[in-house]
Amino acid sequence: MSNGMLPDYVSMAKPNPPANRAPWYKNTAPTYAGIFLWFVFWSQAPSGGGSEPGGVLGQGIGVALLGLVVAALLCHFLFYLVPGLLGMKTGLPLYVVGTSTYGTQGGFLMPGFMMGVLQFGWLGVNSYFASMALAPLFGGSAAAAKIIAVIWAIVAAFVGLKGIQYVAKVATFLPLIPLAILAILLAKTLGGIGDFNVDALVTAGTVEGGAIGGLSFFGVMALSITFVVGFFATAGAAGVDFGMNNKDEKDVQMGGLIGIALATIVSAGAAILIAAGAFGATGKYAMNPADAGFMGELLGSDGAGKTMMLLLAVAAFPPACFSSFIAANSFKTTLPKVNPFISVGVGTAVSIILAVTGWAGRAGAVFTVIGASFGPICGAMMVDYLLAGKKWAGPRAGWNLAGWISWVVGFIVGIAPLVGIANIPAAPLVAFIIGAVLYFILAKAGLEPKVLEMTAIAAPVESAPQETPAEDAAGD
């Protein structure tokens, strides 16, 4: 069929040429690592974002770390790898690649427009927590926090709008700050790990939170998966946008293994060991290693704790830029005729509202919504890719019911724990599995519409050429 049947955001898309791509260590890995070194993520790793006594440490340090490793590998292999390969092979962004799974009409909303909208939610979360950390420097008033949140969101949105090369530059060095802080806190608490007693921790947590008993082995594993995968799900689907900047499959794999799996294990693993070591040394129940009071007590100075909190807030800027970058890509692609400064500006205004009203402070609920929304998307995309012979099938006409039905069912399952419908363990992973299985069944049942031709767009990049000095310079 002619390109006249394709919507503008598909027909106007152009693949990113190999000459514009760069090695994994210059874009994918540092940007992803910056996300996982965000203190809002690793500070909640010991508790798993929940209130169960002992959190992920309820069965001991070994089980806590095992659950973390499993969750990190799931993020890489299930949620990131296929989107990354699709981006690398086609050179096209998520919002075009997604038209195979959801159709040219349905793809405008899913994952295109939804990705942009949710990322502005993330920008609001980032701005809120950064403003809370920085406000004490300006008197600590609520007004100061609101002003900081506004400025933070605007600057991050501008950097994200400029493109991945600017986000990667911002993300290159600032993540070293939380890494250094984690190393200092770990060095201070390492001696207490040998005295850690899981029964004492659960007892202390029971008194603290009012709940009874810690989690079982499978409960800890499920909590780890829910927390980590829920946090990562949108970034996994956004692997398409990272993949289109990678040169070959090795870059896609290495970018994920280092920037996602290893970064998750290092940051969250360190936080878990810090919480365990601090309890072993002091007997005080503390599940948030990034708390200014906790850090100050370890370092013997309230001022030192506040200084570290300030540094963590500054280092939170790359994840804010990452969210803005994904949102900008979404709106640039789905609304190609709208000035991106206008579309991104409107989204930034929503982020600011979420931050200044305090709604963005409910990070745990945000993680649940993200996992429920993008778990089934990643599952369906993986099956679509495999059914097409490990390549992009192309844009499908109208609405792909196989994708939409699988998403609706997967989303309901993923959101069930938050709204009290059912207590489903590892809900984001279950939502992924449901999305994958249902897409397979419905695709085999003939619910996939026909594929439309894209004659105006260059052929997909199945394998990029080896890097040359000229290409390397172009990728910098």
Q: Which CATH number fits domain 10-464: 3.30.470.20, 3.40.50.150, 1.20.1250.20, 1.10.4160.10?
A: 1.10.4160.10
> What is the band of 299 on the pLDDT scale with cuts at 50, 70, 90?
very high
Residues contacting 427, CB < 8 A, separation 6+: 226, 230, 368, 371, 372, 375, 413, 414, 415, 416, 417
Least confident of 95-104, 360-369, 446-455: 360-369
Q: Is the per-residue pLDDT at 437 higher than 80?
A: yes
pLDDT per residue over 115-133, tens digit each? 888 888 889 999 999 998 8
pLDDT: which is higher, 98 or 370: 98
How much is the pLDDT for 6?
85
Residues contacting 267, CB < 8 A, separation 6+: 36, 37, 41, 42, 45, 178, 179, 182
Q: Is the per-residue pLDDT at 55 higher than 60?
A: yes
Q: Is the per-residue pLDDT at 469 higher than 50?
A: no
Q: Where are the domains of the chain?
A: 10-464
Q: Once rounded to an integer, what is the mean pLDDT over residues 1-20?
A: 78
How much is the pLDDT for 128?
93
> What is the band of 315 on the pLDDT scale with cuts at 50, 70, 90?
confident
> What is the band of 168 on the pLDDT scale with cuts at 50, 70, 90?
low
How much is the pLDDT for 65?
98
Distance CA 84, CA 146 (A): 37
How much is the pLDDT for 357?
92
> What is the band of 405 on the pLDDT scale with cuts at 50, 70, 90?
very high
List the beta bridge partners of residue 451. Answer: 396
Q: Is the per-residue pLDDT at 179 higher than 80?
A: yes
List the beta bridge partners of residue 396. Answer: 451
267 Cα distance to chain centroid = 14
